[in-house]
Amino acid sequence: MIKIKTPEEIKIMTEAGKILAEILEKIKDKALPGTSTEELERLAKSLVLSYKVECSFKGYMDYPTCLCTSINEEIVHAVPSKRILKEGDILSIDFGVKYKGFHSDMAVTVPIGEVSPELKRLIKVTKKSLKRGIRNVRPGNTVGDIGNAIQRYVDDQGLGLVRDLCGHGIGRELHEDPQILNYGKRHSGEELKEGMVICIEPMVTLGDWKIKKGPDGFAFITKDNSFSAHFEHMMAITSNGCRVLTEI
């Protein structure tokens, strides 16, 4: 069932989104060659305490940490570890916090040091595909309109679009209805209505879109080991469009 949020609830989620964006910006700044993803996790825990919020992911379906830190061929949900970031890697950071009973969720992919032109393009296309999806968020449109906009853009760029993972509604629960697929047909699926809060999160690869489970038991990685990027924003649907809640 899709849950419509009250203006008061959206105000709390706006605050949660702002806190999340500020914390993630500080974590991004420390994603440098020679740093381990475990160090980024420690920083996240410290910032969560200082902002007086909770980690949304830790404990969710037995996930053991606050951050998801997915490197190169890892798409999403990789557990922070002693693995050291190297020049030329790309790192996808997925993170959520809970504030006054409501969750927020976002993801970014960052280059580690200087990366190849191919990887710069992968990051740029993935980020732009999210913007294409957001442009279609307004009352009366459907989740299919969002997915179709993302799919058409990524397909035009000749990159792979992960189909087995998707965005979602969000609120008191981290994952709520509806599912927001990154592909689909225009005018299909659930209608978008004022008061809904959703997360759109395209995941794009340099190769094939098929995925498999990673060795840590939580991560999803590309089946062909091609590199992958991931961006996500949380937004509230308003009377005249939408308002992104996870921007500084």
Predicted confidence (pLDDT) per residue in 149-190, tens digit: 999 999 999 999 999 999 999 999 999 999 999 999 999 999
Describe the crossing of helices 37-50 and 7-29 by its angle, rounded to 10 degrees. Answer: 140
Nearest C-alpha neighbor of 246 from the set 126, 108, 128: 108
Neighbours of 101 (CB within 10 A): 11
CATH superfamily to which 7-244 belongs: Creatinase/methionine aminopeptidase superfamily (3.90.230.10)
Which H helix or E strand runs over 38?
A: helix 37-50
CA 27-108-83 angle, to 5 degrees, is 60
Whether 43 shows a pLDDT value over 90: the answer reads yes
Residue 29 is given by DSSP the state: H
Neighbours of 108 (CB within 10 A): 24
Whether 207 shows a pLDDT value over 90: the answer reads yes
pLDDT tens for each residue of 67-121? 999 999 999 999 999 999 999 999 999 999 999 999 999 999 999 999 999 999 9
pTM of the model: 0.97
Q: Which residue has the tokens 């225009």?
A: 186
Separation of first and last alpha carbons in the chain: 30
Whether 248 shows a pLDDT value over 90: the answer reads no
Integer Cα distance of 130 and 190 in angstroms: 19
The domains of the chain are located at: 7-244
Q: Are 212 and 164 contacting, i.e. CB atoms less than 8 angstroms apart?
A: no
Q: Are 15 and 246 contacting, i.e. CB atoms less than 8 angstroms apart?
A: no
Q: Which residue has the tokens 């989620």?
A: 13
Q: Which residue has the tokens 């190849």?
A: 116
Integer Cα distance of 136 and 138 in angstroms: 6
Which H helix or E strand runs over 122?
A: helix 117-135
pLDDT tens for each residue of 5-42? 999 999 999 999 999 999 999 999 999 999 999 999 99
User: SS3 of 200, please?
Assistant: strand
